[in-house]
Amino acid sequence: MLTNEHILKTLQKVDDPELHKSIVDLNMVRNIQVNGTDISLDIVLTIQGCPLKAKIQQDVEEALKTIGASKISITFGSMTDDERRSLTASLKSEKVTDKGMPKMLLPDSGVKFIAVTSGKGGVGKSTVTINLAVALARLGKRVGILDADIYGFSIPAMMKIHQKPTMIDQTAIPVISHGVKIMSMGFYTNDNQPVMWRGPMLNKWIRNFLVNTHWGELDYLLIDLPPGTGDVAIDMAAMIPQAQEIIVTTPHLAASHVASRAGLMAQHTKHTILGVVENMAYFENANGEKNYLFGQGGAEKLADELQTNIIAQIPFAQPEENTGSSVYDEDSIIGEVFTHLAEDIIY
């Protein structure tokens, strides 16, 4: 015999696909009515027009069928403003200390922060960020990307992300692409409009991305820093003193010379440098011959200067065919390079 208690126990295993919490714990299941094997109930969504309503309906129906329900009738509604405020306050209390500091920033949080930086733009810093993040996710890690390049945001476009983060009151739910949670200023601008802010506003938005985003459980948060040693890089170093850094350069001596400044700043802020990634290291033709279009030696010189190692050398390649995405297939040559890099970081 089906009972309300049996139904709630079953639906306890159904998660909201964005918040990754039980729909029962979130008080989304209401007004359960049972008539033999017929069940009717209300599902109260966090917002009107929830983009994953169909997914929730499917999961609820499948769960109830496993306990013998023959007919399932679901009526959908949405939370009131007060309920949403209460929910976001509850989510924030789980993730923020009494002093307003995100718990994920605490040294014992278990989250590993990797900042990806460079001395100048155009060397492939964002390409390294997204492909390393995806490689870590493919290896079973829970990964997020914080696109901290406020002026030069590119992560959404490079990953071909067209949707916006869901907002529950003042809390943002990151967009998920290739198994990676993404937050970027690119989600909050229209038609590629430029961001024209000075230092204090930059700091405010970076803090917003950390405090007012429901990241959930993470193993790694990769931070795509703007090139150089400006306000964002300085603020990030102060906010996350335990972060590790990857310095991206090309083989060109001028690029590596500029990148050394970012590396020296990392040393000054006591960040551990994981190593140097050399992007556009060479072009391999159909005969297997390597052509060094930007010369050779820049990455080696940079690694020597920073007393670290070259941890990956990435060849030239076109974006993935048909998609235009900068995320490379794991079976491609570049995909394999990033898999090996992710394995080295994990192990």
Can you give the three-state secondary structure of 23-77, one letter per residue? CCCCCCEEEEEEECCEEEEEEEECCCCCCCHHHHHHHHHHHHHCCCCCEEEEEEE
**DSSP single-letter state for residue 192:** T
Instruction: Specify the pLDDT at position 36.
Output: 92
* Residues in CB range of 270: below 8 A, 6 or more apart: 241
Digit-coded pLDDT (tens) for 185-228:
888 877 666 665 565 666 677 778 888 888 989 999 999 988 87
- Residues spanned by CATH 3.40.50.300 within the chain? 103-346
- Residues spanned by CATH 3.30.300.130 within the chain? 4-79
Helix or strand holding residue 302 (H, E)? helix 298-306
Full-model pTM = 0.84
Helix or strand holding residue 90 (H, E)? helix 81-95
Structural domain 103-346, CATH architecture: 3-Layer(aba) Sandwich (3.40)
Is 323 exposed, middle or buried (CB count within 10 Å of its CB: 0-12, 13-18, 19+)? exposed
Kindly report the CATH number that applies to the domain delimited by 4-79.
3.30.300.130
Instruction: Specify the pLDDT at position 254.
Output: 83
- Please identify which residue in the block is written with the tokens 């997914």: 55
Sign of CA dihedral 206, 209, 212, 217: negative
Q: How many residues are listed for the chain in this entry?
A: 347
Name the 3-class secondary structure at 273. Answer: strand
Digit-coded pLDDT (tens) for 143-188:
999 998 878 888 999 999 988 888 888 888 999 999 999 999 888 8
